[in-house]
Amino acid sequence: MKIALAVWKNRVSPVFDSTRVVIIVDIENGIVNDKCYVHIQAHMPHNRAVELVELGVNVLICGAISRVYEDMIKMQGIKVIPFIAGDVNQVIESYLKGKLNNRNFRMPGCGNKCRKRFRGEGR
């Protein structure tokens, strides 16, 4: 399984719409098999979604994302975990442990409003 993490300066990129780099993490049996940085070329929502599909991504972890981007990516069968903030390595580690729903990884202000969305957002 491959997860993509929108990255900026070793933290989760604040807004996926303008993200330029993602880390593709290849996970096998709950262990990171491979990690690589990829420059996202496309800007338009549909093209971005297609690019993620071409990279074989199953899950996207990102910061804020506007509805149109999220819809396009979901339409391609990719699960989206939005409004995540924090250090990239810690986010990957927590995702593997199924603990990404920890408050520490929520974007500021995403408290009560996002609690429902975060339920079960581990692996």
Partner 1 sequence: MKDSHIKNIPHNVTEIILESVSDGVFTVDKKWCITSFNRAAEEITGVSREEAIGKQCCEVFRSNMCEMNCALRRTMKSGIPYVDSSTYIVNFEKRRIPVTVCTSLLKDVKGIIIGGVETFRDMSMVEELRRELDERYQVGDIISRSKSMRKIIKILPKIANNDSTILIQGETGTGKELIAQAIHGLSPRKEKPFMAINCGALPDTLLESELFGYKAGAFTDAKKDKPGLLALAEGGTIFLDEIGDVSSAFQVRLLRVLQERTFTPLGGTKPVKIDIRVVAASNKNIDQLVKDGTFRQDLFYRINVMQLEIPPLRDRKEDIPSLVTYFINKFNKLQRKVVSGISHEVLESLMSYEYPGNVRELENIIEHAFILCPKGQIELHCLPDIVSQSSDLETSQSIDDVKKSVEAKLIISALKRHNYNRLEAARDLGMHKSTLFRKIKTLGIDLPKTDGRSKQKDFS
The span from the CA of 20 to the CA of 113, in Å, is 27
Tokens of 45: 């929502």
Residue from 28, 29, 108, 119 in contact with partner 1 (CB under 8 A): 108
Contact of 65 with 17, CB cutoff 8 Å: yes
- Does position 8 interact with partner 1 (CB under 8 A)? The reply is yes
51: left (phi over 0), alpha (psi -120 to 50) or beta: alpha
Kindly indicate which of the ranges 22-30, 48-56, 88-96, 111-119 contains the residues binding partner 1, using the contact rule CB under 8 A.
111-119
Binding to partner 1 (CB under 8 A) within 62-101 occurs at 63-67, 70, 82-83, 85
Q: In whole angstroms, how close is the CB of 58 to partner 1 at the nearest point?
A: 21
- Does position 1 interact with partner 1 (CB under 8 A)? The reply is no
Nearest to residue 22, comparing CAs of 53, 71, 60? Answer: 60
- Can you give the binding site for partner 1, defined by CB under 8 A? 8, 11, 13-15, 17-20, 63-67, 70, 82-83, 85, 107-111, 113-114
